[in-house]
Chain A
Amino acid sequence: MKHGNRRYLRVLSATSLAGASLVTMVGASGASARSHASSPVKIGISLSLSGDFSADGQAFQQGYKLWAADINRAGGLLGHKVVLDIKSDASSPTQVVTNYQALISNDHVALTFGPFSSLLSLPAAKAVSRYGYALVEGAGGAPSVFQAGLHNVFDVSLPVADDLMPFAKWVTSLPAAKRPKTVAFVTSNDPFTEPQVTTIEPLLRKAHIKTVYNHVFPAEVTDYTSIADAVAASKPQAVVLGSVDVPTVSAFMQAFEQSGFSPKVFIATGGPDQGSTFIKSVGLKNANGMMVPNAWYGGSANPLSRVMVAQYVKKYGGTASQVSSDVAEAYSVGEVVAQAVKATGGFNNQKIIKYLHSGVTLQSVQGPVRFNGLGENTVPTAFTFQWQGAKFVQVNPVNDRNSVRVLYPKPAWGK
């Protein structure tokens, strides 16, 4: 098994090296000749290793560590061995502010990577910007991050508002006879979910899909069951759930099953993309047919991503479908910065910021990255993914050659 894996890897990296996309690795291996005499380069990161964001924080840590291990195996950054300096912020913005200052002024890190969540990214970016450092992050696509007008913040992931577009295109393109007649929108009160849901509501309406339920619920609701029961009582054929975490999705799924309600389509904006955590909470059988929008998944055909996933599975076990998208988001941060370092020939943050703003297109496991003046990634592709059996597969955009057929209608619960 191990041997097979290695060979698979070698073949993969050979093919991907041929691809023009492998800027990082080429750059890194080219530099490795000089690596002997150089000192390590420190990268500073604050992550929520305990508290509210700890689940995502830990997944991010895996992604960053995986990237560091990979780049060091390929000879480091410009020949310097990469050392990650990770401090825990216990999910507190106060600690984030202190942490980044300590990373820069005490630990003298050369570069900074972002924390998890927009809630912490913004205070972090403000503190870091006073030092003229770039803050490249993977999870902070909320509009507020970009509206702050900071020059030094870059988000390699997908801005949230357009996440559900491929899904909307697919649903509305179904032949009228097969198309769902009714839809329920139920979303948590959250800066990540509401924009996604409000974007597609008019599109579905135009395709004569009637909205039978449309409500926002508070983030810390006591009992999801009654909301789910109310959705079930309105008998929608499609359900669009604006969720940010596994517990929310799992509560709705359980309540739907108990009230004998199974929609033909069920898409949740966050949760089903959390790999094994999702499966552990809802059970593999119930996951069947669940959909989620995102920019990345474990089965991505992107050659960079395949290498990363293989490394991940080797290190942490499990299957490709079980790799959390957080890992890829963190990993992409490393890749983007590595390319900027390579292109600017050093660790000068001003040059890196200028380079990242220059409109250049970079490559990451999540696909291409190009920043606008606000630091948003303007070129990512949004996908829709679906659990089919034990596999997590890409289903939208329909015309993408890596998409498989949508499992439609969604099978009944437990089937």
Chain B
Amino acid sequence: MNSVALLSAAKDGILTGSVYALMATGLTLVFGVMDIINIAQGILVILGAYLSYALQLHWHIDLFVGLLITTPTMFIVGVVIERAFIGRLKGPEKTAMSILVTYAVSLLIEGGLNMIFSVNDVQLQASYVSKSFAIGQVHFGFIYVAGFILAAVLLGALYVMLYRTRFGMSVRASLADQASAALVGIDVRRVSTITFGIGVAVTAAGGMIYGATNSFNASSSYDLISRLLTIIVLGGMGSLGGAMVAGIAMVFIGDVVGVVWSPVWSTMAYFVVLILVLLWRPQGLFGRASARVA
């Protein structure tokens, strides 16, 4: 067994996994607060990537600088989607309906992106995208390290916002119980809109890193969303920390199995772990026990 390969795989799992974790955070936050499953998260990541692409192509704006523009833009996109469609959903079938509504939204965005950017794959380019540094024999790509730092900073910021601010308190109250939150005077409607906006805003950074490390077109979103969904189930739906652990676990398990055994089994190994974990803890690693039936 080649130890360099094993160390590299572990490094890849953690770095790439953190970006998945960031994208999944938006999904799990929205689910936890609103009981909404946002199937459009995948295509929104791609939209975020295309925004960075367009800024770079037309105005030569650096990928990281561009985030200052794309993140607020994606936030607004999220707020608009929430106000226009999601906020109107009510009743016991809200969660299931949200899957359909966000799926329809993702079709609209996919069609639009195909029209504007064509279906040919593109990738974000920058001088630093393919550069790296080495520690021992293990090489670290700058873009992956940057993705890791970005994910850590944004997740940290989310954490601070949730646990150290008044707004965060309202979010957490809504997470726990919407009806009671409304009773103590929290504007649940406003909290929901902003939460959805934040959940979508993280796709700007996630999309940029994804677009710089993968070539993509609009239909790449289908692979993305299925992975993001499994991450939030493994982590426990509604749990931020769970999304982080599960995002990294997903890529880490696949990568290490790929080196130790064979890449053929990398994806399968993750799904088997997922099912085993769910047998043991149906609510996921960090999910609330109330998610479980008896």
Partner of B219, one of A51, A215, A277, A286: A51
- Which residues of chain B are within 8 angstroms of A247 by Cβ–Cβ distance? 121, 214-216, 220
Contact A281 B122 (CB under 8 A): yes
- A254-266 interface bits toward B, Cβ cutoff 8 Å, 1 = contact, 0 = none: 1101111000000
Contact B263 A234 (CB under 8 A): no
- B245-276 interface bits toward A, Cβ cutoff 8 Å, 1 = contact, 0 = none: 00000110011101100111011101000000
Partner-binding segment picked from A35-43, A115-123, A225-233, A288-296: A225-233
Contact B8 A281 (CB under 8 A): no
Partner-binding segment picked from A200-208, A216-224, A299-307, A375-383: A216-224
B250's nearest neighbour on chain A, judged by CB, is A222
A16 at the interface (CB under 8 A from B): no
Contact B130 A286 (CB under 8 A): yes
Most B C-beta atoms less than 10 A away, residue of A54, A216, A413: A54
Tell me whether chain B's interface is mostly helix, strand or loop, or mixed.
helix
A403 at the interface (CB under 8 A from B): no
| Interchain CA distance A229-B2 in the complex, whole Å | 11
Contact A223 B254 (CB under 8 A): yes
Q: How far is the CB of B281 from chain A (nearest CB, A)?
A: 23
- Which residues of chain B are within 8 angstroms of A57 by Cβ–Cβ distance? 119
- Which residues of chain B are within 8 angstroms of A199 by Cβ–Cβ distance? none
Contact A277 B120 (CB under 8 A): yes
Partner-binding segment picked from B9-17, B25-33, B186-194: B9-17
B130's nearest neighbour on chain A, judged by CB, is A257
Q: What is the total number of residues of chain B having a CB less than 8 Å from a CB of chain A?
A: 51
B56 at the interface (CB under 8 A from A): no
Partner of B130, one of A186, A230, A254: A254
A251 at the interface (CB under 8 A from B): yes
Contact B121 A234 (CB under 8 A): no
Contact A226 B121 (CB under 8 A): no
Contact A222 B139 (CB under 8 A): no
Partner of A230, one of B20, B134, B216, B259: B259
- Which residues of chain B are within 8 angstroms of A255 by Cβ–Cβ distance? 141
B114 at the interface (CB under 8 A from A): yes
Contact B2 A234 (CB under 8 A): yes
A282 at the interface (CB under 8 A from B): yes
A52 at the interface (CB under 8 A from B): yes
Q: How far is the CB of A18 from chain B (nearest CB, A)?
A: 38
B111's nearest neighbour on chain A, judged by CB, is A50
Contact B121 A246 (CB under 8 A): yes
Partner of B8, one of A215, A221, A222, A226: A226
Most A C-beta atoms less than 10 A away, residue of B134, B220, B258: B258
B105 at the interface (CB under 8 A from A): no
Contact A254 B8 (CB under 8 A): no
Contact B114 A259 (CB under 8 A): no
A186's nearest neighbour on chain B, judged by CB, is B263
Contact B263 A52 (CB under 8 A): no
B125's nearest neighbour on chain A, judged by CB, is A283
Contact B266 A221 (CB under 8 A): yes
B95 at the interface (CB under 8 A from A): no
| Interchain CA distance A366-B268 in the complex, whole Å | 40
Contact A221 B129 (CB under 8 A): no
| Interchain CA distance A248-B2 in the complex, whole Å | 24
- Which residues of chain B are within 8 angstroms of A250 by Cβ–Cβ distance? 121, 123, 214-215
- Which residues of chain A are within 8 angstroms of B196 by Cβ–Cβ distance? none
A-B residue pairs, 6 tightest by C-beta: A217-B263, A226-B255, A258-B141, A233-B5, A229-B8, A258-B132
Extra inter-chain contacts (19) besides given A222-B16, A223-B255, CB under 8 Å: A57-B119, A186-B263, A215-B262, A218-B263, A220-B223, A221-B263, A222-B270, A226-B12, A226-B13, A226-B254, A226-B259, A230-B259, A233-B4, A257-B130, A257-B132, A258-B139, A260-B132, A282-B123, A283-B125
**Which chain B residues have a beta carbon within 8 Å of chain A's beta carbons?**
2, 4-5, 8-9, 12-13, 16, 20, 111, 114, 118-123, 125, 129-132, 134, 137, 139-141, 144, 213-217, 219-220, 223, 227, 250-251, 254-256, 258-259, 262-264, 266-268, 270
Q: Can you list 27 A-B contacts (CB < 8 A)?
A: A52-B219, A57-B119, A58-B118, A58-B119, A215-B264, A216-B264, A218-B263, A222-B254, A223-B12, A223-B16, A223-B254, A229-B5, A229-B12, A230-B8, A247-B121, A250-B215, A251-B214, A257-B130, A258-B140, A258-B144, A260-B134, A280-B120, A280-B122, A283-B125, A286-B130, A413-B130, A414-B130
